[in-house]
Structure 1
Amino acid sequence: MPLDPTTAAATLRTTASQFGTQDAYVGPGERLSWNDIAAGARRTAAALHAAGVQHGDHVGVLMGNSGAWIQTFLGIASIGAVTVPVNTRFKTEELRFCLKQADVRLLIFTDEFLGIDFRELLQSAEPAAASTLPGAELPELRQAVMIGRGALPAGCRAYADFITAGESVEPDALDTLAEAVKADDVLLIQYTSGTTSFPKGVMLSHANMLLDAQAAAKRMGVRADDRYFSIRPFFHVAGSTLSVLVSLSTGCCLLSLPKFDVAENLAILDRERCSLISGNDTIFLMLMGHPGFDASKLHLRGGWAAAGPEVMEQIHSRMRVPGLCNAYGQSEAAPNVLLSSFDDPLPLRINGFGFPHPGTEVRLADPDTDRPKPAGEHGEIQVRGWNVMRGYYKMPEATAKAFSQDGWLKTGDLGEMNSEGRVRMVSRLKDMYRVGGENVAPSEVEEVLHAHPAVRQAQVIGVPDARLGEVTGAFVLLKEGEEVSREALVEWCKERAANFKVPRYLEIVETFENIGMTGSSKVQKNKLREHAIQLWNLAPTKAAP
């Protein structure tokens, strides 16, 4: 399968023409063919055009995994607009920041999801949603379209009315809009946690994401008759690129759920005879640890996992998935950088060694000087090629820092290379940690704690957790004369941050001096983590990549 730097609309047209009546997406209460996906995307494109959305405009999408998410994404792409996927676990401040920083002009959202009222959330982020948009908080947000049967806020449009308004758009006009989209146009802005208080918007083009999907599908050996189960949230690039676009590029059927329910996951894998699967170590460990797990009911032959050697071995031996690939990547690289092949020798796949994709390069370099490391030495994984982002949206300084002087993307991860030139990730150079697949920057949680009137200083680290890989641990120094309980501080975080960022462990301390300070009076996070492991009696296991 040669790699083709095409557009999402062109790919959808080809796939629908070849596999139109075959299953494209299966979810709770949904079973859509490729013809259904194409028709839904076209209705969305027409509605967006009728609503005044133009080439290059930013459209927010706030909903869980569903056929509607896929059709909306492809409809936005078909007129050359840019999807801004919104994390469904965002709280008010995070939602406001995302929509404002991304200059979202139109938002498509569901009324509620997993018990969260998104109408209430939107109105708390932008009160004008309850009356007339745009408002003072989000001046660029001109329209908000609600899917669902809940009470419609006065400042929003009903999805049915939105779609009906698009019926007057001529088919030729939609074809012309789709043809004007170029492979280098931005397809999606992915918000990813970084070293700043709030996430950065990674700009990814059609070519970035579709080439990455095609290359990954080739390594996995995906066929049109495969049934590919992925619980990865579509609002992450592991969901949009490595799930949705892998399916789109190959014609295989994608199966998913709006949330990770272990029993239901196992039931779908059996009932739908899924042949491919993807996920991080947490997902696989929970599947294998469920009382109802029975490998004889699985029909899996491959897929990919972002997991360490111990978990990879278990997936192979206990789940009996013979062709599972090991994946490494990050949002800034669309996201897959390294992927083993389904037919690679098992030890290479278990230990995470993979080649970069054709047309991309990976080198190991000194993270301070960016000079390439000699063979056999560990170094920062740096990437160059068609999978590298166009930059962070409206953040030129952060974009410049993300690259070396000679133009390589600096991943902030430590890697090693074997004698064949295969590379694997060894550890993270950055402070960021991962909670059940969600990236968390310590500064995000520290900022929330620092906003509490009793807190003088907060230091946050990721600590080991058997189920999620890592969870948040926090140490807090209070202002003189102030008193507050650990429970109250945790509750403060729950009200202001996504649940995966909220501290599982929190300790109030009188000083950081006895834990470890640098010469510039900064807390040494590595020593803080060691202290936390001892204090909270945690198993000092290294989190999987």
Structure 2
Amino acid sequence: MQWKHIAEPIKENDETFPQRLALIHGDGQLTYGQLWDGIQAWASVLRDEYGIGEGDHVAYILPNGLDIAELYYAVQVLGAVAVPLNGRLIAEEIATLLRLSDAKLLVYASIVAEKIEALPWQAEDAISGNRAMAQTVSSQEIRFLAQKREGERIPLAGGGGSWSRIQFTGGTTGIPKGACRSHCADLFEADSLRQMIGLGERECETVLVQSPVSHHGGHGWLITSLSVGATLILCGKFDANELLTQIERYGVTHLLIMPPTIYPRLFEGVGKEDYDLSSVRFVQTSAGLTTASINELILDRFPNAVLSYGWGQSESGAGTAVRFDRQMVRDASPVLMSIGRPMAHVEMRLVDDDGNDVAEEGIGEALLRGATVMDGYYHLDELQSEVFTNDDWLRTGDMMRRDKEGYYYLVSRKKDMIKSGGENVFAGEVEQCLLAHPAITDCIVFGTEDAEYDETVAAVVTVRPGAEVTLAEVQAHCKAHLASYKKPRYLMVVEDFERDDAGKIRKQTIIEEFEKQKAALQK
């Protein structure tokens, strides 16, 4: 790895090709020279006006755009630690994460100003007690101040094994966990991603990212794209016409839109000749299950592209990936159901509950080790032995199997395994089966209490417009492909799933609604 500091490649790009276009968001654009100038000016403001220095934690709630890129790298220049937060959080949740992360400053976008004004300044929590809340400032104010600072060059601080980012992750219940990621871990992840998506192979490449760069997946594409000198288009909320227009206008070569189920929406009512999408060479998707029909649609509408599906975590950095080409889709290759092989700089193995390696095609928890892995969870040292083995393997919590060619197949989250009548049912396996039903467009599967089986399988699904589906139909479909004990015994149909900015379903909210209606649902 040639770099030790996450901002080094941006500095080098400023010196090598300052006039090359670096960032596009809406009507806003920055060359690499303008980007580096802006980063330096923002860093100057953070240092002089807000006292940010090496090791300080700077939280931010910012949508995709120029501000989030300049702020993130300004924080890195100062040797401080970035703490990206989700803009959908309520004020109480924001306050909790500010305290858990020891944030000294919170930078926020104007669209969340009301939430910031409602922060419970005197609230307490079990971790940090009644500690002083972080300073807050709008990104507009920092941009205004930064416009008056030109020409200063601040030397890079930090780097190497020091933290660049605390990425909150995990879960719908319990205390949120902040994954501590170092400069080196993120740089190795960027190199792993670069190799996987083939960035940097040609002179002028253009990347479009619709996933929020405040989340781990989008962040990886941000630092990877800018490190190789590509032009990066950051898109906001999903707008099919805007996305397709941007792809055509700028000749996008690499595309990240998540989850897979969003692609039918992208092309709804759009003819093959309406947009020229021939420039796209690589389409990446993840954060949800894909299907044969979705794969076929993507490869049909992007005639010169290969399709990649990936798996990874904030904790692991890099993960696995697989490329699907047209021949594999035509042949209905079993590999289409896989999450791929380990990416560069990581290794994986599967183990049983006693830590023993499982046999080929056996199901076990995936362990991962490598240069891209986090250091641990911030302020949660007691979890270190739970998350890592004695020889530094990360316990991912995902149950997988591996075939003879080394492809991994995601079965379920370990905590999502359903114990029904003494039999193990993996939620992911049932979800994959349900998505093959012609009427079902999306689904989640989970366990629910049952007097007869202790726990049984429940499913919540969305269906195609005008379609209907019954529990009996779903059960018959599942029994044709799975053992009978794996079929859902409860079915709830909803109009749409609420997803977060990264495209992940808010599963706990849906489960809570299901439990309210459970008594009325047919069993």
Same fold (TM over 0.5): yes
- Measured after TM superposition, the shift of residue 321 of structure 1 is 5.1
User: CA–CA distance in 1 between the matches of 2:335 and 2:296?
Assistant: 9
Residue from 338, 346, 350 that aligns with 1:352: 338
- Secondary structure at 1:430 match in 2: helix
**Farther-moved stretch of structure 1 (315-324 vs 51-60):** 315-324
1:236 is aligned to 215
- Measured after TM superposition, the shift of residue 95 of structure 1 is 0.8
1:289 is aligned to 268
User: CA–CA distance in 2 between the matches of 1:66 and 1:217?
Assistant: 22
1:305 is aligned to 285
1:218 corresponds to 2:195? yes
The 3 A distance-change label for structure 1 pair 417 and 382 is: same
Spell out, residue by residue over 1:495-543, the C-alpha distance to the aligned partner (whole angstroms, 9 max, x if none).
Answer: xxx995644983566999xxxxxxxxxxxxxxxxxx97x66xxxxxxxx
Give the superposed CA RMSD.
3.6
- Measured after TM superposition, the shift of residue 428 of structure 1 is 2.5
Checking the alignment, whether the CA contact within 8 Å between 2:324 and 2:336 is kept in structure 1 is no
User: CA–CA distance in 2 between the matches of 1:205 and 1:340?
Assistant: 26
The 3 A distance-change label for structure 1 pair 6 and 291 is: same
User: CA–CA distance in 2 between the matches of 1:429 and 1:145?
Assistant: 41
The 3 A distance-change label for structure 1 pair 11 and 511 is: closer
2:354 is aligned to 369
Checking the alignment, whether the CA contact within 8 Å between 1:145 and 1:162 is kept in structure 2 is no
The AA in structure 1 aligned to 2:32 is: W
The AA in structure 2 aligned to 1:88 is: G
- Secondary structure at 2:309 match in 1: strand
Spell out, residue by residue over 1:301-335, the C-alpha distance to the aligned partner (whole angstroms, 9 max, x if none).
Answer: 1132214342334322344353222211111112x
- Measured after TM superposition, the shift of residue 371 of structure 1 is 1.4
User: CA–CA distance in 1 between the matches of 2:231 and 2:311?
Assistant: 24
Residue from 186, 191, 194 that aligns with 1:209: 186
- Measured after TM superposition, the shift of residue 222 of structure 1 is 1.2
1:540 is aligned to none
- Measured after TM superposition, the shift of residue 205 of structure 1 is 1.0
Checking the alignment, whether the CA contact within 8 Å between 1:63 and 1:88 is kept in structure 2 is yes
Residue from 488, 506, 513 that aligns with 1:506: 513
User: CA–CA distance in 2 between the matches of 1:331 and 1:416?
Assistant: 21
- Secondary structure at 2:372 match in 1: coil
Residue from 387, 392, 408 that aligns with 2:393: 408
1:327 corresponds to 2:310? yes
Matches within 5 A, 1:126-145: 126-127=120-121, 139-141=132-134, 143-145=135-137
1:261 corresponds to 2:261? no
- Measured after TM superposition, the shift of residue 238 of structure 1 is 0.6
1:252 is aligned to 230
- Secondary structure at 2:513 match in 1: strand
Spell out, residue by residue over 1:230-250, the C-alpha distance to the aligned partner (whole angstroms, 9 max, x if none).
Answer: 101011011111x21111221
User: CA–CA distance in 2 between the matches of 1:340 and 1:187?
Assistant: 28
User: CA–CA distance in 1 between the matches of 2:273 and 2:511?
Assistant: 31
The 3 A distance-change label for structure 1 pair 15 and 349 is: farther
- Secondary structure at 2:256 match in 1: strand
Matches within 5 A, 1:393-404: 393-404=378-389
The 3 A distance-change label for structure 1 pair 103 and 162 is: farther
User: CA–CA distance in 2 between the matches of 1:161 and 1:139?
Assistant: 27
- Measured after TM superposition, the shift of residue 423 of structure 1 is 2.4
2:411 is aligned to 426
The AA in structure 2 aligned to 1:428 is: R
The 3 A distance-change label for structure 1 pair 400 and 339 is: same
The 3 A distance-change label for structure 1 pair 343 and 281 is: closer
Mark the runs of 5 or more structure 1 residues left unpaired by the alignment: 113-117, 129-135, 149-157, 443-458, 468-497, 513-530, 536-545
The AA in structure 2 aligned to 1:146 is: S
Residue from 337, 343, 347 that aligns with 2:319: 337
- Measured after TM superposition, the shift of residue 44 of structure 1 is 1.2
Spell out, residue by residue over 1:42-82, the C-alpha distance to the aligned partner (whole angstroms, 9 max, x if none).
Answer: 11111122121111110011110001100100110111101
- Secondary structure at 1:83 match in 2: strand
Residue from 283, 286, 298 that aligns with 1:315: 298
User: CA–CA distance in 1 between the matches of 2:408 and 2:517?
Assistant: 44
Matched residues, percent identical?
26
Normalising by the residue count of structure 1, what TM-score does the alignment of the two structures yield?
Answer: 0.72
Checking the alignment, whether the CA contact within 8 Å between 2:63 and 2:212 is kept in structure 1 is yes
The 3 A distance-change label for structure 1 pair 201 and 388 is: same
- Secondary structure at 1:333 match in 2: coil
1:36 corresponds to 2:34? yes
Normalising by the residue count of structure 2, what TM-score does the alignment of the two structures yield?
Answer: 0.74
1:381 corresponds to 2:366? yes
Spell out, residue by residue over 1:80-124, the C-alpha distance to the aligned partner (whole angstroms, 9 max, x if none).
Answer: 101100101111121111111111101111111xxxxx2221121
- Secondary structure at 1:340 match in 2: strand
Residue from 160, 178, 195 that aligns with 1:183: 160
The AA in structure 2 aligned to 1:464 is: V
Checking the alignment, whether the CA contact within 8 Å between 1:359 and 1:386 is kept in structure 2 is yes
- Secondary structure at 2:118 match in 1: helix
2:15 is aligned to 17
Checking the alignment, whether the CA contact within 8 Å between 1:60 and 1:83 is kept in structure 2 is yes
Mark the runs of 5 or more structure 2 residues left unpaired by the alignment: 123-128, 418-426, 432-443, 447-455, 465-503
User: CA–CA distance in 2 between the matches of 1:460 and 1:196?
Assistant: 21
User: CA–CA distance in 2 between the matches of 1:430 and 1:123?
Assistant: 37
User: CA–CA distance in 1 between the matches of 2:115 and 2:228?
Assistant: 37
- Measured after TM superposition, the shift of residue 166 of structure 1 is 6.1
Residue from 194, 210, 213 that aligns with 2:171: 194
- Measured after TM superposition, the shift of residue 195 of structure 1 is 6.4
- Secondary structure at 2:401 match in 1: strand
The AA in structure 1 aligned to 2:246 is: I
User: CA–CA distance in 1 between the matches of 2:11 and 2:205?
Assistant: 20
- Measured after TM superposition, the shift of residue 8 of structure 1 is 1.4
User: CA–CA distance in 2 between the matches of 1:192 and 1:313?
Assistant: 32
- Secondary structure at 1:225 match in 2: coil
User: CA–CA distance in 1 between the matches of 2:172 and 2:321?
Assistant: 26
Checking the alignment, whether the CA contact within 8 Å between 2:252 and 2:280 is kept in structure 1 is yes
The 3 A distance-change label for structure 1 pair 288 and 344 is: closer
Spell out, residue by residue over 1:102-161, the C-alpha distance to the aligned partner (whole angstroms, 9 max, x if none).
Answer: 11101111111xxxxx22211211458xxxxxxx966141x212134xxxxxxxxx3256
